[in-house]
């Protein structure tokens, strides 16, 4: 009923606007009709009819542009009457706080309550946000020195969050101001990760390059005429160039994966055939490390939607790590089983070794780029520190997940859960 009354009121306002804009036309028409009536002595009924036609003409739009402008103005006036600051603040996804000239909170939206907690109308912003940059922001806006301003602000508790905070006045003569907090935490995290990545990649490339440069200098100097030293140094240089080539290949793989969109279901991959191919291709490595690879597959078809080459790369990375770092256990078990539990049925591929295992504190970070549990062991095994990062990216594209279980001294199990739909 209230909406109907408001609509009728808005319509009346639009009609009033149109009559006001046509007032001179109406006055001129009335004067002309009355003059004709006085001079020509025509019937009063004709005069009334003429006045009615004049009023109807005044209600008609003078032009399409004028009608559109008048309608837009009436709709805008009607809509803004129904709009409140509270509704507008609630529609903003970022934390938003409205305050007055004394820096006292007048209103805060739900996002602000969730982000900062313990804020309510009547609380002083100066007491809530004590950081110098926030105090300077409030002082600048409230003093009228600036109409709006922006600062970077970091909230330490309960978790560290970085915000770009903007402050400005609301309207004219309202004595109200607004703070809007734009969360920059994810952007900052990505920037730090990018900087760390560049630093790590530079370090990983600089080490073999420095080694090669040193051996070249030695070969051109003291070892110029020493065949035994020359053969030894050339062998080391070849190993270092191979290390750089592997690192560059892995970096390119990561770059290509990050540029690809999420994989759309389409092609079916036979996991039995794919995992068998991986085991066969790594047979020489397993024999070199004296590791026996055992298979434990479920019966029936084991198909999932995905990209065969990428899934091959996933299982190759995991089995290669199991053969290298679980060498002391003497065997690796590769199992494929259906997982019908929960709301996401699929197929689990688990690669389990019986080596030294992974300390629990390292497991959450083991898929980070260049993160190594044991740096020396990793480099001895010709690892680049990017293998599990590549695995993680590929599984993300397949809407799959990787879980890691390990008990120090008893081996580790890497399980890949692939959805069947």
pLDDT digits (tens, 9 = 90+) for 184-227: 888 887 777 777 777 777 777 787 888 888 888 888 888 788 88
Q: Say yes or no to pLDDT of 414 above 90.
A: yes
Q: Quickly state the pLDDT bin for 2 (edges 50, 70, 90).
A: very low
d(CA 322, CA 279) in angstroms, rounded, equals 12
Burial 37-58 (b: 16+ CB within 10 A, else e): eeeeeeeeeeeeebeeebeeeb
For residues 219 and 237, give the distance between their C-alpha atoms in angstroms, rounded to a whole number.
Answer: 11
Take residue 106 and report the two structure tokens written for it.
């007048």
pLDDT at 371: 75
Q: Poorest-confidence range of 30-34, 114-118, 209-213?
A: 30-34
Q: What pLDDT score does 47 carry?
A: 53
**CATH number of the domain bearing residue 195:** 1.10.287.130
Q: What is the mean pLDDT of the chain?
A: 78
SS (H, E, C) 56-113: HHHHCCCCHHHHHHHHHHHHHHHHHHHCCHHHHHHHCCCCEEEEECCCEEEEECHHHH
Residue 64 has pLDDT above 60, yes or no: no
Report the distance separating Cα 179 and Cα 135, nearest Å: 12
Model confidence band, residue 333 (pLDDT cutoffs 50, 70, 90): very high
* Contact yes or no for 262/327 (Cβ under 8 A): no
Same domain, 275 and 250: no
Q: Are residues 231 and 167 in the same domain?
A: no
Look at residue 365 in the predicted model and tell me its pLDDT. 81
Confidence band for 29, pLDDT divided at 50, 70 and 90: low
Q: Which of 59, 82, 105 is the last residue of a domain?
A: 82
Strands 331-339 and 346-353 turn out to be antiparallel
The string of pLDDT tens digits covering residues 355-394 is 888 888 888 888 877 777 765 655 565 566 788 888 888 8
Examine the pLDDT at 349 and tell me if it is beyond 60.
yes
Q: What are the pLDDT digits (tens) for 383-407?
A: 667 888 888 888 888 888 899 998 8
Task: Tell me: do 197 and 254 sit in the same domain.
Answer: yes
How far is Cα 310 from Cα 298, in angstroms, rounded to an integer? 22
Residues 175 and 199 in one domain: no
Per the CB < 8 A criterion, the answer to whether 324 and 356 are in contact is no
What the block records as the tokens of 207 is 């080490």
Radius of gyration of the chain, Cα coordinates, nearest whole angstrom: 38
| pLDDT exceeds cutoff 90 at 315 | yes
**Residue 165: per-residue pLDDT:** 93
Q: Are 297 and 261 in contact (CB under 8 A)?
A: no
Torsion angle defined by CA atoms of residues 276, 282, 283 and 288, in that order, rounded to the nearest 10 degrees: -160
pLDDT attached to residue 71: 59
* Better-predicted residue by pLDDT, 3 or 12: 12
Question: Same domain for 304 and 408?
Answer: yes
Mean predicted confidence (pLDDT) in 264-280? 86
pLDDT in tens, 236-263: 888 888 878 878 887 787 777 777 666 5
Same domain, 401 and 288: yes
Range of the domain at 373: 268-419
- In which band, very low, low, confident or very high, does the pLDDT at 80 lie, cut at 50, 70 and 90? very low
Same domain, 105 and 231: no
Report whether 54 contacts 90 (CB < 8 A): no
C-alpha 245/C-alpha 402 separation (Å) is: 27
**Whether 66 and 34 share a structural domain:** yes
DSSP string, 158-204: SS-EEEEEEEEE-SSS--EEEEEEEE-HHHHHHHHHHHHHHHHHHHH
Check residue 398 and give its pLDDT: 85
Question: Are the beta carbons of 356 and 408 closer than 8 angstroms?
Answer: yes
Say yes or no: 247 and 379 in one domain. no
The proportion of the chain whose per-residue pLDDT surpasses 70, expressed as a percent, equals 75
Q: What pLDDT was estimated at residue 65?
A: 45
Model pLDDT for residues 146-165, shown as the tens digit of each residue: 778 899 998 877 778 889 99
Instruction: Report the alpha-carbon distance of residue 104 to residue 114 in Å, rounded.
Output: 19
282 and 383, same domain (yes or no)? yes
């Amino acid at each position: 009923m209230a909406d109907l009354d408001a609509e009728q009121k808005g319509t009346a306002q639009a009609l009033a606007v149109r009559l006001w804009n046509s007032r001179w036309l109406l006055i001129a028409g009335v004067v002309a009709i009355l003059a004709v009536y006085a001079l020509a002595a025509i019937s009063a009924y004709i005069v009334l009819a003429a006045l009615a036609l004049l009023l109807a003409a005044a209600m008609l739009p003078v032009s399409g542009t004028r009608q559109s402008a008048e309608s837009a103005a009436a709709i805008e006036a009607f809509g803004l009457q129904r709009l409140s600051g509270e509704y507008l603040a609630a529609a903003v996804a970022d934390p938003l706080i409205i305050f007055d000239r004394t820096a006292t909170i007048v209103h805060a939206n739900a996002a602000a309550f969730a982000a900062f907690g313990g804020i309510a109308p009547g609380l002083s912003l100066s007491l809530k946000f004590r950081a110098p940059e926030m105090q300077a922001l409030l002082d600048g806006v409230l003093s009228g020195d600036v109409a709006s301003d922006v600062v970077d602000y970091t909230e330490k508790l309960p978790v560290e969050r970085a915000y770009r905070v903007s402050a400005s006045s609301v309207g004219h003569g309202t004595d109200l101001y607004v703070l809007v907090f734009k969360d920059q935490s994810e952007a900052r995290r990505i920037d730090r990760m990018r900087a760390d990545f560049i630093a790590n990649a530079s370090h990983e490339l600089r080490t073999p390059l420095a080694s090669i440069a040193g051996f070249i200098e030695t070969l051109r100097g003291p070892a110029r005429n020493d065949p035994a030293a020359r053969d030894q140094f050339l062998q080391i240089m070849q190993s270092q160039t191979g290390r750089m080539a592997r690192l560059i290949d892995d970096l390119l793989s990561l770059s290509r994966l990050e540029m690809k969109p999420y994989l759309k279901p389409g092609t079916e991959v036979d996991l039995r055939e794919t995992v068998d191919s991986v085991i066969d291709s790594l047979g020489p490595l397993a024999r070199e490390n004296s590791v026996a690879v055992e298979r434990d597959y479920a019966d029936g078809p084991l198909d999932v939607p995905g990209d065969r080459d990428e899934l091959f790369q996933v299982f190759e990375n995991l089995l290669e790590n199991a053969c290298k770092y679980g060498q002391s256990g003497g065997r690796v078990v590769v199992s494929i089983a259906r997982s019908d539990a929960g709301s996401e049925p699929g197929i689990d591929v688990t690669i389990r070794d019986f080596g030294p295992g992974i300390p629990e504190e390292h497991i959450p970070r083991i898929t980070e780029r260049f993160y190594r549990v044991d740096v020396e062991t990793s480099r001895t095994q010709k690892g680049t520190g990017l293998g599990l990062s590549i695995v993680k990216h590929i599984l993300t594209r397949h809407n799959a997940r990787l879980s890691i279980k390990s008990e120090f001294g008893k081996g580790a199990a890497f399980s890949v859960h692939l959805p069947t739909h």
